[in-house]
Structure 1
Amino acid sequence: MGADSRAEHAGRGRSTRAVVLAACGGLLVTGCATMPDSGDVQAVKGAGTGDSQVRVYAVAPRENADPDEIVDGFLEAMTSDDPGFATARKYLTKKAAQGWRPEQSITVLTTAPDREQADRNADPDNQGRAFPLSGRKIATVDARHGYQPNSPAEYLQSIHVVQQPLANGKGKEWRIDSLPPGLILGEADFLRNYRSVNKYYFASGEDWVVADPVYIRQRQDPVTRMDPVTQTVKALLEGPTNWLKPAVDSQFPSGTELKAGVTTLTTDDQSTLRVPLNAKADRAGGEACRRMAAQLLFTLGDLTSVRVEQVELLGSGGQSLCRLGKGQAVEFAAVRDTDREEHPYFVDEHGKLMMLLVGGKEANAPVEVPGPFGKGTVPLRSVAVDRGETRAAGVGQTGRELIVSSITTEQDPLPPVLTSRAARPDDRLSAPSWDGRGDLWVADRDPAAPQLWMVPDGTGHPVKVRTPWLGDGARIESLRVSADGVRIALVVTRGERTTLQIGRIQRQTTDEEQIVSVLDLQPAAPRMESVKAVSWAGPSRLVVVGREAGGVQQIRYLQTDGSTSTTSVLPGLNGVTSVAAPHEETVPVVADSDDDGIVRLAPGTNWQPVAKKGFSPVYPG
């Protein structure tokens, strides 16, 4: 059912009750032929997986429709943009239509749900018919628009239909009286109707924002009738997703909503967006209001459908509360010096730290950095460069010692800030990572005492990070901390599987100590059977090297919530052991390949060699 499998299901002899149109001025997708004025509605396959230009228009049940048509028609109608899902509700009994809440949740399957023939034994009283639905469930979307992935698992539900009297009392008609909650969509229909947007909230107690990805409708929301801009603002005002909530704060006063009746928000000729709020926001002013406006500016900056240069917040009486422009909002970014060129680094075959200049069409020869890491007096096994590109943290060749050194001035090697006691080099320290606060993170993989460490400012007394999940044979292979310091990407081996997990970082300072925890690990690549490497690639995106079950190694972009799209796979590259992505998309991705050495991938090109030998490529972070 839906755009992803409509033709396939019609081929099984099942009635198709929806019309699929593309953006061809009201013409049909296949060849953009004109709409026929007679004959039956025919199945039309969508223009492509998740193509947002494909439109599905729901068709009401025909007179005397049999139970199979009722179920098929309803499943099709769920994939449409029908206002209020009014047509979909026509397939339901009055009671079921009143109780159905399509906005409360979305169940995402790999393909559209497969409707089996009615199971007569499921209704022993013979009052109706039960139709089993099956598929492979890959995610759910909750009422706060949060995407929650899972490894593909069997989905089994059912839809029950009964006969009810016609309105005129002359006969009966089949209608659905029991159904699963929310919407049930195949992945292609989900991506056609919904898009990922980052909401932004402030890291708890800090002055920089954190991305919180959610999904909103591509077009007008059938339930709220809001356009995408208004949906996005509404989602921001509703607060952070349940997973991120313990680590962030919203500056909007509790209960702040859009002014009643607002369904459309548009910019003026100065690209200013005026956002009318309810009375809860009336007292907001000064710095608090500026921070509210900053949250809106960062959030709306992710929408390609609108250009917002300035936000003005309006109170319940239409009065101006405050204004903020994009240039002013930069002070609240997790990465603030976005105009400064990011440089990738790697360790050469002699263990020296080298910097790459990759801004042009051709990469220049690697440059040796100042200090002991560049001179080779401290040969390296892995490295991380801080976000200001003034210091680096290196793990020595034996994997035992973590050392921090300047990479802008000459200095003698400093004593290690952390040492592992593990017997084997591979069981010692992982590659380190810097967060945006300037704190340094590393995992000790000692089987006798596995531990995640945080070193304040890279030179302070190491803090044992509380990791209640790090037990029962779990091992951290590698890690990368986000620039905002609120999330950490972890490659974790447990048993035979190596998976990518996203953990939430929570901090608490008492009179005696700083308490740091990584909690509530969530799968970020549930469909990958094995993950080799990961890098942050912006506020809520990752570049992941891994392999799906039965597949070959691939490099692809993933959202931190585990969602993806069919266009996220990077060009193939053999034997990739590590990858590094920049914060800005205009700078090349860099990787380490067993076959090709250090290579780079500039936007719109293929992989290009940079250095024949080397390893541990990193961007600052």
Structure 2
Amino acid sequence: MGADHEGGVRRRPLRAVVYAVCGVVLLAGCASMPDSGDLRDVESTPRQDTQVRVFAMPPAEDASPGEIVQGFLEALTSDDPHYDTARKYLTADAGRKWRPERLTTVLADGPSIAADQQPGDREDADNVSYTLAGDKVATVDGEQAYAHAGGPYSKKLRLTRDAKTGQWRISALPPGVVMGKSDFQRNYTSVDKYYFASNTWVGASGQPVAVADPVFVRKGVDPMTQVVRSLISGPTSWLSPGVRSGFPRGAALRKGTASLAPDDQNVLTVPLNDKASGVGSARCDEMATQLLFTLRNLTPTVDAVDLRGTGDKRLCDLRESAAQNAAWDAATKSPEYLYFLDGKHRLVRMAGDSQGTGAAPVPGGLGDGGKELRSVAVSRDERTAAGVGIDGSSLYVTSLTSGGALGDAVVTSRGASKDDRLTTPSWDARGDLWVADRDRRDPRLLLLEQGRGEPVTVRTPELPGRIKDVRVAADGVRMALVVEKDGKQSLLVGRVGRGDGSAGEPVSVTELRSVTPELEEVTAMSWAGDSRLAVAGQERGGLLQMRYVQVDGSTPDGPAPAALSGVKTITASQDGRLPLVAYSEDGIVRTPSGTQWQKVVKEGSAPVYPG
């Protein structure tokens, strides 16, 4: 990528073969590296088509120290499955100790490199070191979990000249691998693994609730096998306390399994070790369901899975259609209606997939106009609704049936103003209702189990400020919160803890992490998929913008929503086929195509899909 620089080492082009569908292309070098002097920028490789594969070449005979470092960094961005080529740039001892799979550090640009001294600048002419530097963007750990990272990156590479061969090799290096953001985007893709919410079942048949756990896998290195191994090994540490897996502890792919691929009938056979061979049929179906849910967002070519145990004995097989009935997943539950408040502040609804603008009052106490409302939430099964009164002080819960009485408020706030009272409520799949009281004298996050009874105060020991908005994920395991502190509004995602489900066990939201650290003010947000949020906010000194963000803070592939001014609230269905809907200065608008906003009604507010 970089051109030859003046006074530096001779530029050696990256010798990597790039295989594409239509032919073979030679990729230019990625780094320009001096043997001495100031830090130099190292540009990342421009993003390539996903069908392109990049293979690095081993070090040349009598390569200089600068060329060794350059070649090594380039090899880190190749599609070499086990980094075998990168190891050829290391001494034997360094190669044995290096664990590239344990950490990937992502920098804003490729690492800058400076030689700390030239060979021969001191008595020890057979050793030299380089400093790698840059600005950290993120890390991916050994569990393949993504996390935001900021601040400077500065690490040493040390090289030694072999006494026998006279060849330079890297003898000490930082943990894992390092690359620029564009190389990371070319090399890695995010995939949702699926587990089940602990102690949670829904529906008459008691379906377990699916929970997405996003991880990053290398695109060009058999991602199907990578993600199956990752799924079987268990959830990431952050999610683990809130979920369970059908795969027993110690389960793994059978030894010797190199690669997985579906057959010509789109059936994926998964050979498992002895630890998985003793499971019963019900648990095996759960394992198969997890596999099918996980693979559906990676590839469309798997319609069924066939799990095999010891001696290649069939444990169970399951088709995708059966998996949809085996577990509850919000992404497959398309809501019947979109709900909002009309000009009279009563709850109305229209078909969720409607292209029209007509809406009708809901049956029951929230649609008859007897109580003016400020915000609403409708349960996932669309049988019950919760509404906050116009002054923000009272929360009501009632059924969406004709004649359903409104009754007394189930929660009351004593906040001094509307903005210091109740937030918009939010429902999870098991029918629990969540709301925050923003009273500055007694701020609280509250839970009403099944939407009724005495509200439970939820423990939030790590909360850095006052809650401004609440959205619980359908699975009830993850909670998105807009939190205000020092005049800034940040979007945090935390894990819901319910203990072992026993009575009296405190409910908590812990391990909060920022998913939009670059935004100074988040004004609206909504769940927009199993692991994706739609967000409206602005950077410091910037304009209001709309974007999608993953729950781990990464940016999902695909276009962002079209810009929209004056956004006050947004709502999205976890079924991605339905349009994003917002309440703005133009009234209620929607974007069916994702590019253009269309007006629904001028006199209306507070649009919501179920949840």
Q: TM-score, normalised by structure 2?
A: 0.90
- The one-letter amino acid of 1:503's match is G
C-alpha distance in 2, partners of 1:550/1:20?
44
| 1:264 correspondence with 2:259 | yes
C-alpha distance in 2, partners of 1:295/1:24?
32
C-alpha distance in 1, partners of 2:131/2:597?
48
Who is 1:37 aligned against?
A: none
Who is 1:34 aligned against?
A: none
* Count of residues in correspondence between the two structures: 587
Following superposition, the deviation at residue 512 of structure 1 comes to 5.2
Identify unmatched segments of 5+ residues in structure 2.
29-41, 201-207
Per the alignment, in what secondary structure is the counterpart of residue 71 of structure 2?
helix
Following superposition, the deviation at residue 447 of structure 1 comes to 1.4
Who is 2:130 aligned against?
A: 131
- The one-letter amino acid of 1:601's match is T
Following superposition, the deviation at residue 23 of structure 1 comes to 2.1
| 1:146 correspondence with 2:145 | yes
Who is 2:31 aligned against?
A: none
- The one-letter amino acid of 2:345's match is G
Who is 1:41 aligned against?
A: none
Who is 1:397 aligned against?
A: 390
Preserved CA contact (<8 Å) 1:18 1:56: no
* Change beyond 3 A, Cα 1:363–1:511: closer
Preserved CA contact (<8 Å) 1:20 1:54: no
Preserved CA contact (<8 Å) 2:561 2:595: no
1:303 to 298, 301, 310: 298
Preserved CA contact (<8 Å) 2:44 2:183: no
* Change beyond 3 A, Cα 1:53–1:554: farther
Where in structure 2 are the equivalents of 1:91-106 lying within 5 Å? 91-106=89-104
C-alpha distance in 1, partners of 2:341/2:492?
26
Preserved CA contact (<8 Å) 1:597 1:612: yes
Preserved CA contact (<8 Å) 1:17 1:61: no
2:600 to 595, 598, 610: 610
Query: Mean Cα displacement is larger for which, 176-185 or 326-335?
Result: 326-335
Preserved CA contact (<8 Å) 1:355 1:366: yes
% identical aligned pairs:
45
C-alpha distance in 2, partners of 1:57/1:269?
29
C-alpha distance in 1, partners of 2:561/2:26?
29
C-alpha distance in 2, partners of 1:125/1:370?
88
1:294 to 289, 297, 300: 289
1:460-481 deviation per Cα after TM superposition (whole angstroms, max 9, x unaligned): 221111111236xx11110111
Following superposition, the deviation at residue 578 of structure 1 comes to 1.4
1:446 to 428, 439, 443: 439
* Change beyond 3 A, Cα 1:436–1:64: same
| 1:462 correspondence with 2:459 | no
Preserved CA contact (<8 Å) 2:463 2:512: no
- The one-letter amino acid of 2:325's match is E
- The one-letter amino acid of 2:283's match is A
Who is 1:23 aligned against?
A: 20
* Change beyond 3 A, Cα 1:444–1:141: same
2:415 to 404, 411, 422: 422
C-alpha distance in 2, partners of 1:120/1:45?
23
1:231 to 219, 226, 229: 226
Root mean square deviation, CA, Å:
2.6
C-alpha distance in 2, partners of 1:98/1:505?
41
* Change beyond 3 A, Cα 1:109–1:588: same
1:488 to 470, 479, 492: 479
Preserved CA contact (<8 Å) 2:336 2:352: no
- The one-letter amino acid of 2:603's match is K
| 1:519 correspondence with 2:519 | no
Preserved CA contact (<8 Å) 2:562 2:595: no
- The one-letter amino acid of 2:58's match is A
Preserved CA contact (<8 Å) 1:444 1:453: yes
2:571 to 566, 580, 584: 580
| 1:528 correspondence with 2:528 | no
Identify unmatched segments of 5+ residues in structure 1.
1-5, 32-43, 221-226
2:588 to 598, 612, 616: 598
- The one-letter amino acid of 2:389's match is G
1:411 to 400, 404, 410: 404
Preserved CA contact (<8 Å) 2:330 2:575: no
Per the alignment, in what secondary structure is the counterpart of residue 446 of structure 1?
coil
* Change beyond 3 A, Cα 1:373–1:468: same
1:545-595 deviation per Cα after TM superposition (whole angstroms, max 9, x unaligned): 12234432221111111111463411111121211111211111101122x
Following superposition, the deviation at residue 46 of structure 1 comes to 8.8
Following superposition, the deviation at residue 534 of structure 1 comes to 1.2
Following superposition, the deviation at residue 129 of structure 1 comes to 2.6
Query: Mean Cα displacement is larger for which, 566-575 or 417-426?
Result: 566-575
- The one-letter amino acid of 2:14's match is R
1:184 to 174, 178, 181: 178
- The one-letter amino acid of 1:315's match is G
C-alpha distance in 2, partners of 1:420/1:125?
75
Following superposition, the deviation at residue 314 of structure 1 comes to 0.6
C-alpha distance in 2, partners of 1:504/1:138?
23
Following superposition, the deviation at residue 14 of structure 1 comes to 4.8
Following superposition, the deviation at residue 340 of structure 1 comes to 4.9
1:412-441 deviation per Cα after TM superposition (whole angstroms, max 9, x unaligned): 321011111211221111111000110000
Following superposition, the deviation at residue 126 of structure 1 comes to 4.5
Following superposition, the deviation at residue 15 of structure 1 comes to 3.9
* Change beyond 3 A, Cα 1:125–1:417: farther
C-alpha distance in 1, partners of 2:411/2:3?
59
- The one-letter amino acid of 2:547's match is R
Who is 2:468 aligned against?
A: 477
C-alpha distance in 1, partners of 2:467/2:330?
30
C-alpha distance in 2, partners of 1:602/1:610?
11
Who is 2:112 aligned against?
A: 114
* Change beyond 3 A, Cα 1:24–1:265: closer
Per the alignment, in what secondary structure is the counterpart of residue 515 of structure 1?
coil
C-alpha distance in 1, partners of 2:172/2:488?
39
* Change beyond 3 A, Cα 1:512–1:192: closer
C-alpha distance in 1, partners of 2:433/2:461?
20
C-alpha distance in 1, partners of 2:518/2:156?
26
- The one-letter amino acid of 1:294's match is T
Who is 2:533 aligned against?
A: 542
Who is 1:319 aligned against?
A: 313
Preserved CA contact (<8 Å) 1:30 1:45: no
C-alpha distance in 1, partners of 2:333/2:99?
46
Preserved CA contact (<8 Å) 1:554 1:569: no
C-alpha distance in 2, partners of 1:418/1:125?
77
* Change beyond 3 A, Cα 1:85–1:269: closer
1:186-240 deviation per Cα after TM superposition (whole angstroms, max 9, x unaligned): 12111211111111111112322211111112122xxxxxx22211111111100
Preserved CA contact (<8 Å) 2:45 2:182: no
C-alpha distance in 2, partners of 1:88/1:390?
58
1:346-403 deviation per Cα after TM superposition (whole angstroms, max 9, x unaligned): 223332222233524x323232222232222111111111111122111111111111
* Change beyond 3 A, Cα 1:190–1:47: closer
Following superposition, the deviation at residue 244 of structure 1 comes to 0.4
Preserved CA contact (<8 Å) 1:420 1:429: yes
Query: Mean Cα displacement is larger for which, 102-111 or 59-68?
Result: 59-68
Following superposition, the deviation at residue 507 of structure 1 comes to 0.7
Per the alignment, in what secondary structure is the counterpart of residue 372 of structure 1?
coil
C-alpha distance in 2, partners of 1:287/1:297?
15
Following superposition, the deviation at residue 102 of structure 1 comes to 0.8
C-alpha distance in 2, partners of 1:510/1:546?
36
C-alpha distance in 2, partners of 1:185/1:143?
16
Per the alignment, in what secondary structure is the counterpart of residue 92 of structure 1?
coil
Following superposition, the deviation at residue 250 of structure 1 comes to 1.2
Per the alignment, in what secondary structure is the counterpart of residue 576 of structure 1?
coil
| 1:557 correspondence with 2:558 | no
